[in-house]
Copies of this chain bind each other. A is one copy, B any other.
């Protein structure tokens, strides 16, 4: 996409992983995820934006607000799944995509979305999809 706009928020969750590959991360632990949502578009709208940054930030904050300060192991929607950084990137992206489809971000018609979750200063993940 020629144009993109990114907004940042964060969430603080507990979880554990199933699978020997995860080593000590099989224990209940936690993470701060700094969350970046990047909206892409071929053209700017009449106001000169991809999406309104205020609305995009508000939409992202509602999603991080629905996940933060929780133990994801106890959330029914994640039952039987590892809530890895990659998986949570997709969860946030799909929820944001639903909000875009519902018209919550107003004018503009972004056609792609990338969500990045930073789990520390030395590791992060992305998930990209079309809108």
| A contact set with B: CB distance below 8 Å | 1-10, 12-15, 17, 19, 21-25, 27-34, 44, 46-50, 52-55, 57, 68-71, 81-87, 89-90, 106-107, 119-129
Q: How far is the CA of A5 from the CA of B125 in the complex (A)?
A: 4
Q: Is the CB of B47 within 8 A of A120?
A: no
Q: Is the CB of A48 within 8 A of B86?
A: yes
Q: Is the CB of B123 within 8 A of A8?
A: yes
Which residues of B have CB within 8 Å of A127? Answer: 2-3
Q: How far is the CB of A115 from chain B (nearest CB, A)?
A: 11
Total copies of this chain within the assembly: 6
Q: How far is the CB of A128 from chain B (nearest CB, A)?
A: 5
Q: How far is the CB of A49 from chain B (nearest CB, A)?
A: 5
Which partner residue on chain B sits nearest A74 by CB separation? B28
Which residues of B have CB within 8 Å of A14? Answer: 14-15, 28-30, 71
Q: How far is the CA of A124 from the CA of B107 in the complex (A)?
A: 19
Q: Is the CB of A44 within 8 A of B121?
A: no
Q: How far is the CA of A28 from the CA of B13 in the complex (A)?
A: 8
Which residues of B have CB within 8 Å of A123? Answer: 5-8, 53, 57
